[in-house]
Each structure stands twice: as C-alpha cells, then as structure tokens.
Structure 1
C-alpha cells in the first residue's frame, strides 16, 4: 500500500471517528495525551514529568478503550499505576524533607531510603582515612569517635561531613561501644533521590549546614566553660 493510500485511509478513519460522540472523546483523549508527551520532553524535574506521564497514560488508556486497542489498554493500564506510585513516592519524600529538615537535625526522614547494618560491640564502622562511601544514621546503640573520645547516642545522623567533602576521607574512627544497628545510604542512592527531586538535595544541604552550626555552637560553649575566669584588678 502506497503512502497516499495510507494517508487516505487515516483521513477516512478520522472522519468516521468524528461522526460519533465516543469517537470524538477518543480522539480528544489521544490528542491531549500526545500533547502531554510532547510537553514532558521539555520538563527537567521528575515530579512534573511523572504527573505528565500519568496524564498521558490516562489519555491513551481512554483512547484504547473507546477506540478498541487491546495493546494500548494493556500498555498504559500497566504504566499508569507505576507512574502514580512513583509520583506519590516523590511527593511524600518532598513533604517529609521539607517538614523535617528545617528542625530535625537527626535525619530521621532519610530512614526509609537507608539499609540496615548490625555491628558487634567494639566493631569498627570506619577508620580514620577511609573513603567516605556512605552516610549513616545510628538507630540503636552507642558509637565512639576514637580520636576525640566523644560518644554518640542513638537517633543521630553522622558521617555527613566526609561524605560531602572533596577528598571524601574520614577524619575520625567510629567504634561501637555497644552492639549497634546502623542505617546507611550510599552515594548512588543519594544521587538517584537528588535527580528524582532536586528539592531533596537542597534540603540535605540545609541539614548539613544546620549540623555544622550546631557543632560550632557546642564547641564555643565548651571553650567558654574551659576558659579560666579573668583575674580581678
């Protein structure tokens, strides 16, 4: 069949579809879905992209149901719940980050994206000078930073400074004072979360900055307590 014949067949099918309300709805749905697909090509962030994908799936699903196409119904009927789930997941992440990062310096909101690791008493999580491949959250137990003799209780995020440092090297050794449960997130997972939702990375920067300021304040308070009183004249 020549290209002209194919074009004539397509035009005839179009006019035939426009003769019924069902056909008009099917074509409008396909047109809207196609427009959403084109718009999605210019979107840079994942949440709007997923929302456009959901709209496209709905449009093509309606078209496939009204202008019967089993393949289109199966394809977009499968993709629709996947895109809905991923969109909801990203929205939950955004809300959790925004709700917690400003006030919760523990990093609890990162827990759903971290993997669990158990260590025995006196076990070493990392040594000074090791490459910082993970960001950690202490879920249970106590960890001592050997070089400075500081013990950290459960419920704290740690290891973030070296994780983001240019040389990515640990400045302290982390040893378990008691049996510990540690949650960890690696750089690849962190990058995926960032690319899916850039707001995640922005809020993590705020978290790290908040932790640095809190550590600085504690250090200043310790120095102030350690200073001898000024001699009286």
Structure 2
C-alpha cells in the first residue's frame, strides 16, 4: 500500500473515531496513555514508574473498551493488577522502613517479606570471622552467639549488617547457634534491587545502620565506664 493510501486510511479512521463521543474519548485516552509510556522511559525510580504504568494501563483499557480491541483489553487487563500490586508492595515497604527509622527500630522486621528462611542446628556456625559477607540476617527463632565477644542475641533482631555494608565485606565476628535457630536472610542482589527501585528505602536503611553503630558505641562506652569505676574508687581510697 502506497504512502498516500496509508495517509488517507488513517485520516478516514480518525474522522470516523471523532464522529462519536465514545470514539473521541477512546482516542484521547489512548493518546494520554501513549504519552505516559514515553514519559516512563525517562523515569529512573520504581514507584513513579509504577504510577505511570497503572495510569497507562487504565488509558489503554478505556481505549480497548470504547474502540473495541480484545487483545488490548486482555493485555492491559492482565498488567493492571500486577502493576497495582507491585506499587502497593513498594509503597508499604517505604512506609515500614520510614516508620522504623523514626522510631529507631533496629529489628529489621520490615525486611522479612523479602528474606528466605534457613534452619540451623544447635552448635552450627552461620558464618566465621573473616568470611565474605554475602547476606544480611534476621534471627526469627533461637539464640545466636557471637563467639569472640561471648555475646548472645535473642530472636527478633537484624544482624550481620556491619560487614554487609563494609568496604571489604568481611565478617568481624563468628556467629554460632546456641540452640536450634531459624534465620531469615536476604542476599546482596535482592537488597540492591530494593534499593534501586526505591532510593528512599536505601536512605532509611543507611539511617538504621548508623543508628545501630551509635547504639553499639554507646553500649561500649557504658561498659568501659563501668569497668573503670572500681579502679577510680580504689585509686581514690589509696590517696585518702
């Protein structure tokens, strides 16, 4: 078909579509949806992209319904709930991590839907000092001991985050199960996906890690002060 014939056919189709109210609405919806698709190609973060995708799906569904196109209805009817679900999932994660940061909640419970379960027997070593840190962990059940410092951890805590974010990614302590343990883990690839999909999530996680470091430093300072007090009292007594 020659170019003039294609132009004439397109012009005729547009005139036919604009001749009715439903046709005009259909073309307007398709135009807006197409524009949103173009805009989405310039978006770098996931939440705005999902919003644009949902709006685009709705626009193409309107077009498919008013200007009957079964394939378009089928395609965007399938994509719409997927995009809504992914948008709600990411928005929920953002709210949870923001709330955790505001409340200084270092438990990491909000990461649980993105973690995989691992069961360990009593005495089993999860990781050793010097190992490469490939996962971030959450202790769901049991008691975990950090061997070098003799400290035990109760369930409901995120751990292993220091080495996970450290430049050399090396474990600084050995984690061993005191009892049977259930841990949840998230790997670096999954964590990076969450970060790049929603930079606000990454920013809040960094805030939480900084909060954990500050809390650990304060506990260390309190321990040092407590151990140094008897020596100070003894020195004061000898002076008297």
Q: TM-score, normalised by structure 1?
A: 0.97
Asked if structure 2 preserves the Cα contact closer than 8 Å seen for 1:115 and 1:183, the reply is yes
Residue 215 of structure 1: how far off its partner (Å) = 0.1
> CA–CA distance in 2 between the matches of 1:150 and 1:165?
21
Residue 52 of structure 1: how far off its partner (Å) = 0.4
Asked if structure 2 preserves the Cα contact closer than 8 Å seen for 1:140 and 1:182, the reply is yes
Cross-structure match for 1:38 = 38
Unaligned runs of 5+ residues in structure 2 are none
Residue 139 of structure 1: how far off its partner (Å) = 0.9
How many residue pairs are counted as aligned between the two chains? 233
After TM superposition, the runs of 4+ consecutive aligned structure 1 residues lying more than 4 A away are none
Cross-structure match for 1:216 = 217
Asked if structure 2 preserves the Cα contact closer than 8 Å seen for 1:33 and 1:59, the reply is yes
> CA–CA distance in 2 between the matches of 1:177 and 1:225?
27
> CA–CA distance in 2 between the matches of 1:157 and 1:69?
51
Specify which structure has the higher proportion of helix. Answer: 2
State whether structure 2 residue 110 is matched by structure 1 residue 109: yes
The SS at the match of 1:202 is: helix
Residue 153 of structure 1: how far off its partner (Å) = 1.2
Cross-structure match for 1:20 = 20
Match runs of 1:126-205 below 5 Å: 126-205=127-206
Residue 29 of structure 1: how far off its partner (Å) = 0.5
Residue 110 of structure 1: how far off its partner (Å) = 1.0
Residue 109 of structure 1: how far off its partner (Å) = 1.1
> CA–CA distance in 1 between the matches of 2:221 and 2:209?
18
Unaligned runs of 5+ residues in structure 1 are none
Q: TM-score, normalised by structure 2?
A: 0.95
Residue 101 of structure 1: how far off its partner (Å) = 2.5
Cross-structure match for 2:85 = 85
> CA–CA distance in 1 between the matches of 2:60 and 2:144?
54
Cross-structure match for 2:53 = 53
Cross-structure match for 2:70 = 70
> CA–CA distance in 1 between the matches of 2:86 and 2:109?
21
> CA–CA distance in 1 between the matches of 2:88 and 2:8?
44
Asked if structure 2 preserves the Cα contact closer than 8 Å seen for 1:122 and 1:175, the reply is yes
The SS at the match of 2:28 is: helix
Asked if structure 2 preserves the Cα contact closer than 8 Å seen for 1:101 and 1:107, the reply is no
